[in-house]
Amino acid sequence: MGVTFNFGEFAASRTICGDTLQAMGERNDKIYVMTADLMRTCSVKGCKKAFPERFINVGIAEQNMFGMAAGLALEGNIPYVTTMATFASMRACEQLRTDICYQNLPVRVVATNAGLTSTGGSTHNAMEDMGVLRSMANLTIIVPGDPNIAKDILLATENHPGPVYIRLARGKGEPVVYQPGEVDYKVGKAIETKAGKDATIIACGVMVSQAVDAANILEKEGISVRVLDMHTIKPIDEEAITKAAEETGIILTLEDHYTIGGLGSAVAEVIADNNLNCKFKRMGIPQLFPGFGDGPELYDKYGFGLEGTVETMRNMLK
């Protein structure tokens, strides 16, 4: 509270989420906060103190946690399930799909360590979570492009009738993109982070700030690149994509996820389904297990770091 962040600084989305969930749980007694031995990692210790009865740490048992969340929701509660994105999307996948999405229950999944941000290697990197989850009916999928926006997302979805998946990065130090109060957050409505007319980068999560950096570099070369923060992957903002295709003619997608199944695929579907005429390319994790290293090192290694982004955009403009 009262802290001002600026572009280029970092903030911890897990702390922001933990604090927000605690405040929400204190005023809304339908809210439960759950975790599977990742209370520390997901920064939800405060909830345990504030409302111990509605805080459930099930031990290392993600499937049971998602099943219990379904049961709690069937009884009129709003459970917030916290774990790493890899376990949320794959270990408890069927519980999420069949127990939660099938019954359109108001369960919220707050998933950390998405993409290559975990440093733990491929067991801990969730590179396919959006691909797995995007095909699940009823599920809303949101990826904050700025750690502070995570708070807006939690508040904006509090009374959403169906399930929501919120995809966080490591949660310990994500780049800040917006000034406090700068954006009026709406689920399903892309944010035009930077205006531009020659081309568009559509990004999500930690890649939004990289897209802005790339656009700033290109601006010095006289190229005007629009940056869209596509925080809601599903339902996706078709209107913003259509406008970008029509007005700029070039779309590059950028995400910390496999290029199959995530943001890039979602945008490609909109382009194909609507016969949009534009140059198009997806950037993200190629089809391999990337090995060890931290996020930025691996983005560079696999060509979708800042330099790769700028270079790809230059080539698309040729």
Partner 1 sequence: MADKQVVRELKDKAYQMRVNLMTLCGTFEGSVHIGGDLSMTDVMIAWYHYGLNVNPEDIQMPTRDRFVLSKGHGAVGMYIAMALRGFFDFDEILKTYGKLNSAYGMHPCKVNLPGVETSSGSLGHGLPIACGMAYSAKVKKQSHRVVALLGDGESQEGSNWEAMLAAHQYKLGNLVAVVDRNRLQLDDFTEEMMSMEPYADKWKAFGWNVVEVDGHDMEQLVDAIDNLPPTSSDVPTVMICNTIKGKGVSFMENNPDWHAGSVSPEDMKRAIDEITEAYNKERGEM
Ligand X SMILES: Cc1ncc(C[n+]2csc(CCOP(=O)(O)OP(=O)(O)O)c2C)c(N)n1
Binding site for ligand X (CB under 6 A): 37-38, 60, 87, 91
The interface partner of residue 274, options being ligand X, partner 1, none and the CB cut-off 5 to 8 Å by kind, is none
233 binds, among partner 1, ligand X, none (CB under 5 to 8 A by kind): none
Q: Which of 54, 91, 151, 282 binds partner 1 (CB under 8 A)?
A: 91
Smallest distance, ligand X to C-beta of residue 41, A: 7
Closer residue to ligand X, CB minimum distance, 63 or 242: 63
**What does 122 bind: partner 1, ligand X, none (CB cut-off 5 to 8 Å by kind)?**
partner 1
**Among the listed residues 98, 102, 124, 138, the single contact to partner 1 using CB under 8 A:** 124
In this chain, which of 39, 72, 251, 285 binds partner 1, going by CB under 8 A? 39
* DSSP notation for the chain: ------TT-EE-HHHHHHHHHHHHHHH-TTEEEEESS-TTTTT-HHHHHH-GGGEEE--S-HHHHHHHHHHHHHTT-EEEEEEEHHIIIIITHHIIIIIIITTT---EEEEESBTT-SSS-TTT-BSSHHHHHTTSTT-EEE--SSTTHHHHHHHHTTT-SS-EEEE--SSS-EEP-S-TT-----TT--EEEE--SSEEEEE-TTHHHHHHHHHHHHHHTT--EEEEE--EEES--HHHHHHHHHHHSEEEEEEEEETTTSHHHHHHHHHHHTT---EEEEEEE-SS---SS-HHHHHHHTT-SHHHHHHHHHHHH-
Q: Is 120 a residue that touches partner 1 (CB under 8 A)?
A: yes
Comparing CB distances to ligand X, the nearer of 24 and 69 is 69
Q: Shortest distance, CB of residue 61 to partner 1, whole angstroms?
A: 5
Q: Identify the residue among 6, 8, 60, 135 touching partner 1 (CB under 8 A).
A: 60
Q: Is 112 in the site for partner 1 (CB under 8 A)?
A: no
59 binds, among partner 1, ligand X, none (CB under 5 to 8 A by kind): partner 1
Q: Does 40 bind partner 1 (CB under 8 A)?
A: yes
